[in-house]
């Protein structure tokens, strides 16, 4: 089933493999480079590519050397990337990632913001190495609306840059999940407390992006119950069940396997459009396999996202199609910002 086509919004995908978003930290002055275009174009046989996290505004930048999509110069640089992917027959969504409290003044020149003034209790990447995450500044109600608007504005610019759509990053402890979290979100106003309060920011952000570019061009990534970057969530089945019921009918939801299979299956039953699953979860010692993907397709998923397997296998679709061995995933030292381990992995040589 992985190699069969699927209709995603207005896009006909030739297969059900999604290249998952992965931070690569190789941007220059907040812009993708010519190598970025090569990197994604090499992997254009994926049914869908979702880019690395792209900050929707300056305060949303979480890590050094990551790209944005909030200036005209960034739009022009991304246009080179999307043109290259489309020239190779691919389809590409930009992942809009607002780091929220996961950031540092050394990264973007701003004190990070969050739903509440509660630090992650973990370390974050900075230009001078790993440092303790600072206490974020709690967003005032009016500022919450500003961050919602930033997602919508960035989505418009992504479409201007040639992207086929956008994915809001609501997983892995970043701003959207911080509002969902009972540990990061200690607000007592309409954006906290109850389940309805904690899902409100996510729903408003998705609604704003949908209004900006159309539901068929929008997805959201979630990691239900994932415990990373200081995140704790209470009553995960109810929290995410209510979130899925409150979201507009966008093109897809993209879930990491961060909770028991039975909860994932229940969430799948609640969702009316395409359902992407990443079997690897958040912290996995090995990349996901074709067999895991096929199992989840049989269990009701529509598409399967692969992350690490795509690092060293730009031709992952062809390797699955022909039953070829996968190249070994490189060591972590090549994942972020290294001079090698980016565009230098060849297709399979017979």
Local structure of 48: helix, strand or coil: strand
Structure tokens at 214: 């159309």
Which among 323, 321, 294, 289 has a CA at the least distance from the CA of 308?
Answer: 289
Number of Cβ within 10 Å of residue 295's Cβ equals 15
Distance, in Å, from the CA atom of 322 to the CA atom of 324, rounded to the nearest integer, reads 5
Q: 6 to each of 48, 52, 302, how far by Cα in Å? A: 10, 23, 8
Q: Which residues pair with 125 in a beta bridge?
A: 130
| Catalytic annotation, pick one of 39, 174, 310, 342 | 174
Q: What angle do CA 245, 249, 255 make, to 5 degrees?
A: 70
Told to judge if 174 belongs to the known catalytic residues of this protein, a careful annotator would answer: yes
Structure tokens at 315: 């031709």
Q: Which residues pair with 167 in a beta bridge?
A: 95, 219
Q: 50 to each of 17, 107, 229, 269, how far by Cα in Å? A: 11, 23, 22, 24
Distance, in Å, from the CA atom of 245 to the CA atom of 122, rounded to the nearest integer, reads 32
Structure tokens at 74: 């960034």
Catalytically active residues, by annotation: 174
């Amino acid at each position: 089933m992985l190699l069969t086509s699927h209709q995603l919004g207005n896009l006909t995908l030739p297969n059900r493999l999604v290249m998952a978003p992965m931070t690569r930290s190789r941007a220059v002055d907040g812009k993708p480079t010519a190598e970025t275009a090569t990197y994604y174009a090499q992997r254009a046989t994926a049914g869908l590519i979702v880019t690395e996290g792209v900050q929707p505004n300056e305060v949303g930048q979480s890590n050094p050397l990551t790209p944005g999509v909030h200036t005209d110069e960034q739009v022009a640089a991304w246009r080179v990337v999307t043109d290259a992917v489309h020239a190779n027959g691919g389809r590409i969504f930009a992942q809009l990632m607002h780091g929220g409290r996961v950031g540092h003044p050394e990264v973007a020149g701003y004190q990070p913001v969050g739903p509440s003034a509660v630090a992650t209790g973990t370390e974050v990447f900075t230009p001078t190495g790993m440092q303790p995450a600072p206490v974020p500044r709690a967003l005032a109600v009016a500022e919450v609306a500003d961050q919602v608007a930033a997602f919508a504005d960035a989505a418009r610019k992504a479409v201007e840059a040639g992207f086929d759509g956008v994915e809001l990053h609501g997983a892995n402890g970043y701003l959207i999940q911080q509002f969902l979290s009972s540990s990061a979100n200690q607000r007592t106003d309409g954006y906290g407390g109850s389940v309805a309060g904690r899902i409100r920011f996510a729903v408003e952000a998705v609604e704003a992006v949908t209004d900006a570019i159309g539901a068929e061009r929008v997805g959201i990534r979630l990691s239900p119950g994932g415990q990373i970057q200081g995140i704790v969530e209470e009553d995960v089945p109810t929290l995410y069940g209510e979130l899925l019921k409150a979201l507009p009918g966008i093109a897809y939801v993209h879930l990491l396997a961060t909770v028991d299979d039975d909860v994932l299956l229940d969430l799948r039953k609640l969702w009316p459009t395409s359902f992407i699953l990443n079997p690897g979860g958040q912290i996995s010692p090995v990349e996901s396999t074709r067999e895991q993907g096929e199992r989840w397709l049989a269990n009701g998923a529509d598409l399967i996202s692969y992350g690490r397997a795509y690092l060293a296998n730009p031709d992952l679709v062809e390797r699955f199609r022909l039953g070829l061995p996968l190249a070994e995933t490189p060591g972590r030292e090549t994942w972020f910002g290294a001079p090698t381990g980016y565009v230098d992995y060849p297709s399979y040589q017979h």
